[in-house]
Amino acid sequence: MAFKKHIPNIFTLFNLLSGTIAVFFAVKEQLVIAAIFVFIGIIFDFFDGFMARLLNVQGELGKQLDSLADVVTSGLVPGIVMFQLILSAVSNKNWSIKGHSIQDLSLDSYLSIVYLTAIIGLLITLSAAYRLAKFNIDERQTSSFIGLPTPAASLVVLSLPLILQYSSNEIAIQLIQNTWFLIGLTLLLSYLMNAEIPLFSLKFKDYSLKNNKVKYLFVLITILLVVFFQFIAIPLVIIWYVILSMFTKEAKTI
């Protein structure tokens, strides 16, 4: 019985381990491998809650540990990845200041502009940490969410290097290589994570069609998007999730 209550925490620790490994690869600019480990971590994150409910061993320790793990996997890693993407976009962009290309500036000035711009990506890490701290003391979010969950925001960011690597869609690639798009996406995700927007949860109290119509609809459309758009489907799924929540009674009853 004593061991049973720690089973969900073991899943949470594997989430943290996956996130920690992902940090290493993200810093090394191996963003695809970092994305893979984040996806693994998010799977563990899903199963820690699932096991806690299945075994009926929810507790304060698990709640706090889960948020600490998510700060790394769904906060620190996507922040570093966005930093790297913006850094690459700025470095390859022929920006000009008062008619002079930034490549013509002194090395110190050039690096200052490039890195200060890329640091904007770390706003995702700060916003995720703030959301997770707020989530732990918000008693309204027991069965639904207020604001975009950090794993969902993380999936959007981590899909970007996968799209660059495996997609042939030129429009998507050009967007991801655009500095202003990346900065705009950073600001949007940071806002959505902490906005007072009710969103439904994918937690199932039962599996009846009657009580889970919206969830099954979401899963069905998600599968279709993945089949037709592969990795580009990931941000599309998150957009679909937010839009569907706006018309869901479950989300509105928070």
Per-residue pLDDT tens digits for 223-239: 999 899 999 999 999 99
How high is the pLDDT of residue 193?
95
Give me the percent of the chain exceeding a pLDDT of 70. Answer: 84
Counted residue by residue, the chain has a size of: 254
Report the candidate in 129, 57, 117, 128 with the shortest Cα–Cα distance to residue 93.
117
CA distance 59 to 199: 24
More confident residue, 160 or 50: 160
Q: What is the mean pLDDT of residues 159-170?
A: 94
Give me the percent of the chain exceeding a pLDDT of 90. Answer: 50
For the whole model, what pTM was predicted? 0.85
CATH tag, 4-196: 1.20.120
How high is the pLDDT of residue 22?
97
Long-range residue pairs from 22-31, CB within 8 A, at least 24 positions apart, any chain: 22/73, 22/77, 23/72, 23/76, 23/77, 23/80, 26/77, 26/80, 26/81, 26/84, 27/80, 29/84, 31/81, 31/84, 31/85, 31/158, 31/161
Cβ-proximal residues to 243 (8 Å cutoff; 6+ apart), any chain = none
How high is the pLDDT of residue 38?
96
